[in-house]
Amino acid sequence: MSLNSNLARNVEVEMPLQSPLATPKQTNSPIHKPIPGKSIVTRTEKMLIGMIMTIAFTLIAVSISLEINVASINRALQDTKTSIVSTTTINNNLKQEVQELSRYDRIYKIANNQGLKMNEANVRNVIK
């Protein structure tokens, strides 16, 4: 065979067999194995956690209920204050109207239109 040939050649080479590296020995130590049948949380702890969660939920519900109640009472208070201010304004306007309608010159003019005359003997002064 010549070396100039481009054909693949089948060359047999003997490879020595290698043994795998030494595997670590498996020990039967319970270091990483959990103990079967033993639970981390006991029954009493579960009941205690349940009671605490129930109390917390109840407190949260009561707190939300009270906040809603306070908000509605504040709204009612604001409505009442608005109503009081409106009524006070109306009362002040009516008092001013009474004072304007009870002016002496207006009453005198109405009395003259009705045919009434001023008689000093029948007039009384009232002091408040």
Q: Is residue 67 part of a domain?
A: yes
Q: Is residue 84 part of a domain?
A: yes
Q: Is residue 6 part of a domain?
A: no
Q: Is residue 38 part of a domain?
A: no
Range of the domain at 65: 43-114
Phi, psi (rounded to 5 degrees) for 106: -70, -45
**pTM for the predicted model, two decimal places:** 0.49
Q: Is residue 63 part of a domain?
A: yes
Q: Is residue 29 part of a domain?
A: no
Domains identified in the chain, total number:
1
Angle at the Cα of 123 from the Cα atoms of 120 and 125, rounded to 5 degrees: 125
- Alpha-carbon gap, residue 87 to 28, rounded angstroms: 91
pLDDT digit string (tens) for 10-69? 667 776 666 666 665 666 555 666 666 667 878 899 999 999 999 999 999 999 999 999
